[in-house]
């Protein structure tokens, strides 16, 4: 077991239910957090609390993360490139066509499986299928991601993602020309009412903000830089569809094409504060060849 202590309460969390806050930060199902509370694994100022307890300013919250009941993930190598590693984090470059962690499809190859194959231990948070995973990029999106090696680092990174203090910049190619060369899309995103695997803009969704800037106009497409101020699932893809100019090659939110076999989207830059030292770190991933060929006409 490992223990996480929160002795400084952010103002945004005050007077909110403890089960909801911790569930949203760690992206763990709320009923799982409620079980932790029931089992006495989450305490406030040394005392057990109810799941409906509301966080107060001087609270000291302790969370004990139990070891995973089962971890049947197979280790299997994949062409990931490790950009940085220390005792707390692994930063890596993910190719398109590879999932970050196995899901309902039980994919044998994943970033998590490749890290296990290389003998890298990950945090227990998110086990058994998502150990160490503090954020994800889509299977067919390439680029830089960070993974946590221990539970304390996982919590500190997850908190940054939850508070949107992480800097994330993507490069994409749109299937048409944008009407404006730069702008900010502020449209809430939620699950599609008819297909729960898809997402859409909806007034009842979660707040979602994407800033964009056209870097280069091609004959039929635009090369666009995206900056995320929130981190909703499929956010860039959904927002581009919403303004009538989906990403090139996006078979889900746009149209299939023979120009590129996946959505033309690449996680180019990732900046975060180191979970132990607080040092601001930035990492970059080179544009992959399939996107580069379209941009250069090669």
Torsions phi, psi for 236 (to 5 deg): -65, -45
Question: Are 179 and 244 within one domain?
Answer: yes
Residue 296 lies in a domain: no
In a domain, 201, yes or no: yes
The three-state secondary structure class of 72 is coil
Is pLDDT above 80 for 1? no
Q: What whole-number percentage of the chain has pLDDT above 90?
A: 61
Q: What is the pTM of this model?
A: 0.87
Range of the domain at 180: 168-267
Which one of 59, 88, 138, 140 is the catalytic residue? 138
Pair 34, 74 in one domain: no
* Residue 275 counted as domain residue: no
Residue 9's pLDDT is 79
> β-strands 209-217, 47-48: how paired?
unpaired
CATH number at residue 18: 3.10.290.10
Q: What is the pLDDT of residues 190-224, one digit of tens each?
A: 888 877 778 999 988 888 999 999 999 999 999 99
Maximum mean pLDDT: which of 89-103, 165-179, 187-201: 165-179
Which DSSP string corresponds to 118-185?
Answer: TT----STTTTT-TTBS----TT-EEEEEEESSHHHHHHHHHHHHHT-SEEEEEEEESS--SSSEEEE
Least confident range from 3-7, 127-131, 242-246: namely: 127-131
Q: Dump pLDDT digits (tens) for 3-37.
A: 888 877 777 788 999 999 888 888 888 888 999 99
Query: What pLDDT was estimated at residue 127?
Result: 66
Q: Categorize the per-residue pLDDT at 104 as very low, low, confident or very high, splitting at 50, 70 and 90.
A: low
Annotation says 7 is catalytic: no
Query: What domain count does the chain have?
Result: 3
* CATH code at position 117: 3.30.2350.10
pLDDT cut 70: percent of the chain above it: 95
Q: What is the pLDDT of residues 56-77, one digit of tens each?
A: 988 899 988 877 666 667 778 8
Q: What angle do CA 117, 118, 121 make, to 5 degrees?
A: 90
**What does the pLDDT average to over 179-186?**
94
Q: Please say whether the beta carbons of 148 and 136 come within 8 A.
A: no
**154 & 185 share domain:** no
């Amino acid at each position: 077991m490992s223990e996480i202590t929160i002795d400084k309460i952010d103002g945004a969390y005050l007077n909110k239910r403890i089960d909801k806050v911790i569930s949203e930060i760690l992206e763990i199902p709320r009923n799982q957090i409620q079980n932790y509370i029931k089992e006495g694994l989450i305490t406030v100022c040394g005392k057990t609390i109810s799941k409906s307890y509301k966080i107060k300013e001087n609270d000291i919250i302790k969370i004990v993360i139990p070891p995973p009941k089962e971890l049947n993930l197979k280790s299997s190598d994949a062409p990931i490139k490790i950009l940085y590693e220390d005792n707390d984090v692994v930063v890596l470059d993910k190719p398109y066509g590879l999932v970050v962690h196995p899901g309902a499809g039980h994919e044998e190859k994943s970033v998590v499986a490749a890290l296990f194959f290389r003998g890298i231990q990950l945090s227990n948070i998110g086990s058994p299928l998502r150990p160490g995973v503090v954020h994800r990029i889509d299977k067919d999106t390439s680029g830089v991601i960070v993974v946590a090696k221990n539970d304390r680092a996982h919590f500190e990174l997850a908190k940054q993602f939850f508070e949107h203090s992480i800097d994330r910049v993507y490069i994409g190619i749109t299937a048409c020309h944008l009407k404006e060369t730069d702008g900010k899309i502020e449209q809430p995103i939620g699950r599609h009412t008819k297909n729960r695997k898809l997402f859409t803009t909806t007034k009842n969704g979660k707040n979602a903000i994407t800033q964009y800037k056209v870097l280069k106009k091609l004959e039929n497409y635009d090369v666009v830089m995206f900056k995320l101020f929130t981190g909703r699932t499929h956010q860039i893809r959904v927002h581009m569809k919403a303004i009538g100019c989906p990403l090139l090659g996006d078979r889900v939110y746009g149209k299939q094409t023979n120009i590129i076999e996946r959505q033309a989207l690449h996680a180019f830059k990732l900046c975060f504060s180191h979970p132990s030292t607080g040092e601001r770190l930035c990492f970059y991933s080179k544009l992959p060849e399939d996107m580069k060929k379209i941009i250069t006409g090669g």
